[in-house]
Amino acid sequence: MGDSACDREFCPECDLAVTRVDEVCPECGASLDCRGDGSTER
C-alpha cells in the first residue's frame, strides 16, 4: 500500500522530482540509470 508520491528521487542535473522507474528526466532529458544503486547522491 505504498504511496507512489513517496517513491521519488531527484534528477542530478535539474533537481526535478522523478520516480525511481524513470530512466530519463522528463524535464531535461538527463539519463537517470547511471545511479546504479538507486541513489542520486553526487
Is 21 inside any structural domain? yes
Q: Assign 26 a pLDDT band (cuts: 50, 70, 90).
A: very high
19's grid cell: 520516480
The SS3 assignment for 17 reads: strand
User: Across residues 3-10, what is the average pLDDT?
Assistant: 70
pTM of the entire structure? 0.56
pLDDT given at position 33: 72
Specify the number of domains making up the chain.
Answer: 1
| Structural domain that includes position 12 | 4-35
pLDDT given at position 14: 95
Is 41 inside any structural domain? no
Is 23 inside any structural domain? yes
Q: Return d(Cα 18, Cα 29) in angstroms, integer.
A: 12
